[in-house]
Structure 1
């Protein structure tokens, strides 16, 4: 099976969409001649032209408004917001309009818009460009929040969200674009709301998403050297999130750690931990643990920034502490 990068997987997903659906277009900042801030749309303008690759002004609210309105009248817009930090400028359009129009119109209008954006730190972009706000959007009824960790899942999930009638936040981590993974040449889809066990284990469950899946897998390999067999569950979606896969994993292992990059205070991991604690309490051999980002703005300093998000060593330490070893 060939290996491709996360960036290549996303470019393939977008090209497929534009080639197969004449209603689809992409709108965003620097997506045309520049090729996108992360080079995902490089060459798209020449291939599809300015009517399908729409270079927008720097106005996130306007971009999402255009996407919402065009989706309501039958088009299939893909809105690119350069980073999730900038989506705050479109919060009213996303939360008060796109997410609610289908409900408030009693189903007369649907809003099948895909909002692509980039989350996370680690690229030395400082405090206002390095936040993880995906959990905020996962609390909003009417939105779906998809956050793949691998090239395989990025392509498969995008193929699935193309069929959605509700607005989807499709969130990609900035440090994942250069990662590589196996992707089948044959067509496949990954269902929205279905988690994936990335590593089977019997002693401990780590529940993660986005870049933290890779951190969890690295920590699991380290712990395996110590005789601790860790299972890693990749949520892949935050709304809806796959409770059953998580619960079944915790039932098998009796232990759980919810791992995420977002600030731990108020993060979505609290929702997951609460559900696990309530629904599978009788199977637990200890309280559900949480490990998230430090509650500080992300430092610009390249020597300090890596200390803010969970790392392999901090995950290993947390698991050891939970096991009392």
Structure 2
């Protein structure tokens, strides 16, 4: 088997080094978990640029609450991997200030629900400074961490912030699904001179995905555009993050049980929104449903529908668009109720059948 290790990963590593062995494993295997993809992306970008550093609660000695930063303290030291007290307002403010002075921080929120404590720094300082300075002051920073519901974490830890942050001018908002998404988009975000909100899904961290040789390159980045995960001709399903998985499962059911060919579009980016791809898939299939785990009002699906209505895609629709969303209630703690509160493959299948008037 051919092993392929980037020079930036292999730099300074002895043959028996655990980092070299880890790099060989990434390069030789054809699969990678989302956790590994995020970890390797940050490590390579820290190798590439000494101005990149990680800051957050338990990111260093504890290796991160979800082990996404595992091994980075040992590799880069306390100057580059910084543990902080439990104060999102404080750590985000420190990071934004350092970005305004030319450093490139990666801020880990243990949960994006906790970013509400820091939202003034994220929105009023990071996102608006470039515009308010007349284009003279950039803020190269990445805010990353788990977003949305997990399992039994309650209403205060289950919100999806895609639409919240996606509504802010000056902010870029990325929503990876696969390991390739996570790796390519995070590397692009770290290199971006603008502030980026990077919304991960806790339940995807341990999921394994096939990756290409190209994805394993230290130079691999992805554009902030959508990706067709499954080609189809009868209906378009537009979604993001973990709901891509459910939509692909629904598409398989629709094909096998009803002979319906569903196209699944993985957005990957909320802001900028790939409107061209949305229009193209609607013009191809003439039917559309959107799928998200956020609240139904003022969501990403609403924006997609508005963009379709305001474009030539509207003339291609043969039926009204349906939104599949989370329930309009604070997320229940009890698992039985929580399961009812969010989309699953069966919910998506029902919406597709209704849109196509299939019994």
TM-score (norm 2): 0.88
Residue 183 (structure 1) shift? 1.8
Aligned to 1:120: 148
Residue 134 (structure 1) shift? 1.6
Structure having the larger proportion of residues in strand: 1
Distance 2:314 2:50 in 1: 50
The reply on whether 1:244 has 2:276 as its aligned counterpart is yes
Aligned to 2:4: none
Aligned to 1:319: 352
Describe the SS at the equivalent of 1:263.
Answer: coil
Aligned to 1:234: 266
Aligned partner of 2:291 among 248, 251, 259: 259
Residue 125 (structure 1) shift? 0.8
Describe the SS at the equivalent of 2:264.
Answer: strand
Describe the SS at the equivalent of 2:203.
Answer: coil
Structure having the larger proportion of residues in helix: 2
Residue 303 (structure 1) shift? 2.0
Aligned to 1:104: 132
Residue 86 (structure 1) shift? 0.4
Residue 304 (structure 1) shift? 1.7
The reply on whether 1:209 has 2:237 as its aligned counterpart is no
| Higher deviation after alignment, 179-188 or 15-24 | 179-188
Aligned partner of 2:158 among 130, 135, 140: 130
Aligned to 1:19: 47
What does 1:75-224 align with in structure 2 at a 5 Å threshold? 75-186=103-214, 187=217, 188-192=220-224, 194-224=225-255
What does 1:61-80 align with in structure 2 at a 5 Å threshold? 61-80=89-108
Distance 2:222 2:210 in 1: 14
Residue 288 (structure 1) shift? 1.4
- RMSD of equivalent CA atoms: 1.0
| Higher deviation after alignment, 183-192 or 45-54 | 183-192
Distance 2:133 2:351 in 1: 48
| Higher deviation after alignment, 2-11 or 154-163 | 154-163
How many residue pairs were aligned? 324
Larger radius of gyration, structure 1 or 2? 2
What does 1:35-46 align with in structure 2 at a 5 Å threshold? 35-46=63-74
Residue 292 (structure 1) shift? 0.4
Describe the SS at the equivalent of 2:61.
Answer: coil
Distance 2:235 2:65 in 1: 38
Aligned partner of 1:302 among 327, 335, 339: 335
Distance 1:161 1:31 in 2: 19
Distance 1:318 1:43 in 2: 44
Distance 1:126 1:161 in 2: 30
1:92-144 deviation per Cα after TM superposition (whole angstroms, max 9, x unaligned):
11111111111111122100001112112132111111111121100000100
Distance 2:136 2:275 in 1: 31
Aligned to 1:278: 310
Describe the SS at the equivalent of 2:122.
Answer: helix
- Listed as ranges, the gaps of 5+ residues in structure 2 are 1-28
Describe the SS at the equivalent of 1:238.
Answer: strand
TM-score (norm 1): 0.98
- Listed as ranges, the gaps of 5+ residues in structure 1 are none
